[in-house]
Chain A
C-alpha cells in the first residue's frame, strides 16, 4: 500500500529556533517524489520543497531542508530559524513517476510558532 504518515498532529516551537516535522512513507515503487506543502489559515497550499527518490543530496530551499533517509522511508522537514509567519498546517505528500504526479497526502502537522 502507498501511504504517507505524519505522526505529529500539533507542534510548538519558539521563534528563531529550528523545528523538525516528521514524515514517513510506505511504498514498494522505486520511483517517487516527496513534497512538503504549507497551508496557512488562508487555505492556499504553498509548495515548499521537493525530493526525488533517486536524488543523492538532501533538498534545501532557503530555511527549509528535507532530511531524506531512504532506507528508513522518512522525509522529515527541517525549518531553521522559525518565524511567526511559519505558523500553519504542513503536509507531506508523495507522487509516483508512473502515475503522472498525483499526490498522496499525509494527515498534516499544525505548527505554532511562539514569540
Chain B
C-alpha cells in the first residue's frame, strides 16, 4: 500500500494476556518508530529502528514491552502481561531516513479490561 499500515485497528484484551501489534511501513523507508498516545501522557516515543543499526529502545516504559523489525520492513510491538495502564493508541511511523518527516499509520487502539 501507499501508506503505513497497522493491524489490528482495535484490540481488546484481558489483563495479563500478551498482545502483538503489527506495523507495515512505507516501502523503501529505512526508519521506523513506535509511539503511544494516551489521555494522561500525550504522545510518547517508544522505540526507533534505523536500517541495520541497533534500535533505540529508550522510550519503552517497562521490560514487558519489546519490538522487533524483520528484514528491515515489518515491525511487531509486543506487550507481555498487559496492564490496564497499557490502554492507549499505539502509533507507528516511518520515514525515508532519520531526521526527515515521518508518516504515521492509523494506529491500533488497545483496551485492556
Contacts and interface: CB of A to CB of B under 8 A. Distances in A.
Interface of A: 33, 35, 37, 42-47, 50, 91, 93, 95, 97, 99-108
Contacts of B104: 37, 44-46
A102 B33 contact: yes
Interface of B: 31, 33, 35, 42-45, 48, 50, 56, 59, 89, 91, 93, 95, 97-107
Contacts of B102: 47, 101, 103
24 contacts: A35-B101, A42-B106, A43-B107, A44-B105, A44-B107, A45-B104, A46-B104, A47-B101, A50-B101, A91-B43, A95-B99, A100-B48, A100-B56, A100-B98, A101-B31, A101-B99, A101-B100, A102-B33, A102-B59, A103-B35, A103-B45, A103-B102, A106-B42, A107-B42
B95 A101 contact: yes
A35 B31 CA distance: 17
Q: Is the interface of B mostly helix, strand, loop or mixed?
A: strand
A103 B56 CA distance: 12
A40 B75 CA distance: 25
Contacts of B91: 45
